[in-house]
């Protein structure tokens, strides 16, 4: 059976970008079995390839992957912004991308030449190379529609405000979005002299060259932002396709047994446990880790906490989730024994989707990464928003002021979230009236998410429209 079309996917480094694109690939094949998909993976020297490899090796046979040669980032200062590291890994992989596309479009290949190159939000620098091979370019947005509005608006905001955004006294009004304080705009926009700001501004200008943008969100979650993107033709030129929520499937315990933490959850009442996790990339300082431990203890609520060893940088584990230090050694003395009847601490990783699916899980303390938010929405779990880096503060504003499904922790003058604040927010979410209201609202969003992905749902129809263009 001849393939209908061949799509090349070029993700940025980092599991947070790869996983939703892998889910998109799976979803494409559900609807179009004759599609062929090639993942082209850039890597930085020394970054772990195994986690990505494990995911890609488990894909159906018409999804293949090519790892580009690792690029060196040794000349980049240690304090360079995360966005700078991602952008440079991507840009330095472009010569290898050209070689790969040349091979994929050559006569010797058994596949059809790619009828589209799909990149994520750091990928537009590859557009010029795709143009050489006459391949139309599309962007897959791994961030919310609200964040996407902010990217398209970057050049306009830059002209409008000469000062740093955190110095603004009035909130910034993005089209179709809840007003946002300047300090809550994405981290790379917070220092106009930083190289990361320059990278974002360059990306924003190239975004308009895309034929279309597929967004990992759904219309009913962000109707205002999607309407603004569809109507703002002067500043948002590509067609916009909401295709989400795309979240990872469940994880299997390599022993073939059920994960211990899920068995632990079985022993607790419905909706009584707070799940605490800062994602694959988020880390806390030692001082903040102590405050969190004491806050959870003070709250008297049940909790399941995925702990990582502390670090001075909040995104320290983004490129490398493997810490070589035992995180339990950093907990306050006697903590595990004192909370053993109602708290479970798990080292480094836990099956997040299964935990959020469990009936005992009543809340999620999260760093507000977009993947984690979508998983929480799909499973109907209200949140405590504790943003750390990237666009996570924007996401927190959307969850609290826009949707009313999260409580945002307050940071003190030393940059810490104190134990009293943590204890109060945990009790409020699990036991309080506000938590009850958030749970009801989350139930509505959960239903709307399921409808959007149903056979005639808005996201399914949107995906069909874009694939029709690729196939034709």
pLDDT at 315: 62
DSSP assignment string, 72-93 = P-TTS-TT--HHHHHHHHHHHT
pLDDT at 317: 54
Pick the CATH number of 260-449 from 3.30.230.10, 3.40.50.300, 3.40.50.2000, 3.40.50.2300: 3.40.50.2000
pLDDT at 4: 79
Digit-by-digit pLDDT tens for the chain (472 residues) are 567 799 999 998 878 789 999 999 999 998 888 899 999 999 888 877 787 888 888 888 889 999 999 999 999 998 888 888 888 999 999 999 999 999 999 866 677 899 999 999 999 999 999 999 999 999 999 999 999 999 999 999 999 999 999 999 999 999 999 999 999 999 999 999 998 899 899 999 999 999 999 999 999 999 999 999 999 889 999 999 999 999 988 777 776 678 999 999 999 999 999 999 998 878 999 999 999 999 999 999 999 999 999 987 766 555 554 455 789 999 999 999 999 999 999 998 999 999 999 999 999 999 999 999 999 999 999 999 999 999 999 999 999 999 999 999 999 999 999 999 999 999 999 999 999 999 999 999 999 999 999 999 999 999 999 999 998 8
Residues 6+ apart with CB under 8 A from 262: 351, 354, 355, 358
Domain range 5-244+454-471, CATH architecture: 3-Layer(aba) Sandwich (3.40)
What is the enclosing helix (H) or strand (E) of 466? helix 458-471
Q: Checking DSSP bridges between strand 383-385 and strand 406-408, what pairing results, if any?
A: parallel
pLDDT at 209: 94
Question: Is residue 354 within 8 Å of residue 250, measured between CB atoms?
Answer: yes
pLDDT at 78: 85
Instruction: Report helix, strand and coil shares of the chain as percent, to nearest 5.
Output: 45, 15, 40
pLDDT at 174: 97
What is residue 36's three-state secondary structure? Answer: strand
- Stretch(es) of the chain classified as CATH 3.40.50.2000: 5-244+454-471, 260-449
Omega prior to 245 cis, within 30 of 0:
yes
What is the Cα–Cα distance from 370 to 222, expressed in whole angstroms? 13
CB-CB neighbours of 183 under 10 Å:
12
Question: Is residue 395 within 8 Å of residue 373, measured between CB atoms?
Answer: yes
Question: Which residues are catalytic, by number?
Answer: 17, 120
């Amino acid at each position: 059976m001849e393939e209908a079309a061949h799509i090349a996917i070029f993700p940025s480094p980092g599991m947070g970008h790869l996983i939703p694109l892998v889910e998109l690939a799976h979803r494409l094949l559900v609807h179009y079995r004759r599609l062929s998909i090639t993942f082209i993976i850039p890597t930085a020297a020394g970054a772990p390839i195994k986690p990505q490899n494990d995911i890609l090796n488990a894909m159906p046979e018409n999804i293949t992957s090519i790892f580009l040669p690792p690029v060196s980032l040794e000349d980049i200062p240690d304090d360079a912004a995360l966005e700078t590291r991602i952008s440079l890994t991507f840009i330095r992989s472009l010569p290898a991308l050209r070689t790969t596309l040349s091979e994929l479009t050559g006569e010797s290949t058994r596949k059809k030449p790619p009828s589209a190159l799909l990149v994520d939000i750091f990928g537009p620098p590859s557009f010029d190379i795709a143009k050489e091979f006459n391949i139309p370019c599309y962007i897959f947005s791994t961030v919310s529609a609200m964040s996407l509005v902010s990217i398209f608006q970057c050049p306009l905001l830059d002209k409008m405000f000469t000062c740093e955004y955190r110095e603004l006294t009035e909130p910034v009004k993005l089209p179709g979005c809840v007003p946002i304080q300047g300090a809550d705009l994405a981290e790379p926009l917070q220092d106009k002299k930083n190289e990361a700001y320059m990278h974002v501004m360059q990306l924003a200008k190239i975004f308009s060259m895309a034929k279309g943008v597929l967004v990992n969100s759904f219309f009913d979650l962000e109707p205002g932002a999607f309407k603004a993107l569809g109507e703002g033709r002067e500043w948002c030129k590509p067609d916009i396709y909401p295709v989400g929520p795309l979240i990872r499937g469940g994880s299997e315990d390599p022993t073939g047994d059920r994960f211990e933490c899920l068995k632990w959850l079985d022993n607790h009442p419905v909706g009584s446990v707070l799940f605490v996790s800062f994602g694959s990339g988020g880390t806390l300082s030692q001082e903040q880790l102590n405050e969190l431990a004491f806050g959870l203890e003070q709250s008297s609520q049940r909790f399941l906490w995925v702990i990582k060893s502390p670090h001075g940088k909040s995104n320290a584990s983004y490129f490398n989730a493997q810490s070589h230090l035992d995180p339990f050694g950093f907990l306050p003395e006697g903590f595990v024994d004192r909370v053993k009847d109602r708290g479970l601490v798990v080292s480094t990783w836990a099956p997040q989707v299964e935990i959020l699916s469990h009936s005992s899980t009543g809340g999620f303390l999260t760093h507000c990464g977009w993947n984690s938010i979508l998983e929480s929405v799909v499973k109907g779990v209200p949140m405590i928003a504790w943003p750390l880096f990237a666009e996570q503060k924007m996401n927190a504003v959307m969850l609290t002021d826009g949707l009313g499904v999260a409580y945002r922790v307050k940071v003190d003058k030393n940059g810490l979230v104190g134990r009293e604040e943590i204890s109060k927010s945990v009790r409020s979410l699990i036991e309080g009236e506000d938590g009850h209201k958030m749970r009801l609202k989350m139930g509505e969003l959960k239903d709307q998410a399921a409808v959007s992905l149903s056979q005639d749902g808005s996201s399914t129809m949107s995906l069909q429209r874009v694939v029709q263009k690729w196939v034709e």
